[in-house]
């Protein structure tokens, strides 16, 4: 999983930013994670510790390389099947 921890909460970032130095910009209502001057992830701020906030679109590149890798993954749990199908279709389209 591609996660950045801030204030005991984990936030997802795009997979292409894995193992890179990140800067977290924390605002009252949102968190912006920046890598190399680019926004790697943006989430509503969560003040409840121990939570993990996922954006399934952050894992599209991984799905393009490894279809089915997140079939039962936490990043896609709770999504309606149509949302998962759309993400997979987007991954296939962006891969080529």
What is the SS3 string spanning the chain? CCEEEECCEEEECCHHHCCCCCEEEECCCEEEEEECCEEEEEEECCCCCCCEECCHHHHHHHHHHCCCCCCCCHHHCCCCHHHHHHHHHHHHHHHC
Q: What is the pLDDT along the chain (96 residues), one digit of tens a residue?
A: 689 999 999 999 988 888 899 999 999 999 999 999 999 999 999 999 999 998 878 877 777 777 666 565 555 555 554 455 565 555 555 543
- What is the pTM (predicted TM-score) of this model? 0.69
Domain residue spans of the chain: 1-53, 54-96
């Amino acid at each position: 999983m591609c996660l950045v921890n801030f204030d005991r909460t984990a936030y997802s970032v795009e997979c292409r930013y894995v193992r890179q130095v990140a800067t977290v910009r924390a605002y009252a209502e949102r968190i912006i994670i920046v890598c190399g001057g680019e926004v790697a992830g943006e989430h509503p701020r969560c003040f409840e510790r121990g939570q993990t906030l996922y954006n399934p679109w952050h894992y599209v590149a991984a799905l393009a390389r490894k279809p089915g890798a997140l079939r039962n993954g936490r990043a896609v749990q709770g999504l309606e099947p149509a949302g998962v199908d759309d993400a997979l279709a987007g991954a296939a389209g962006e891969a080529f």
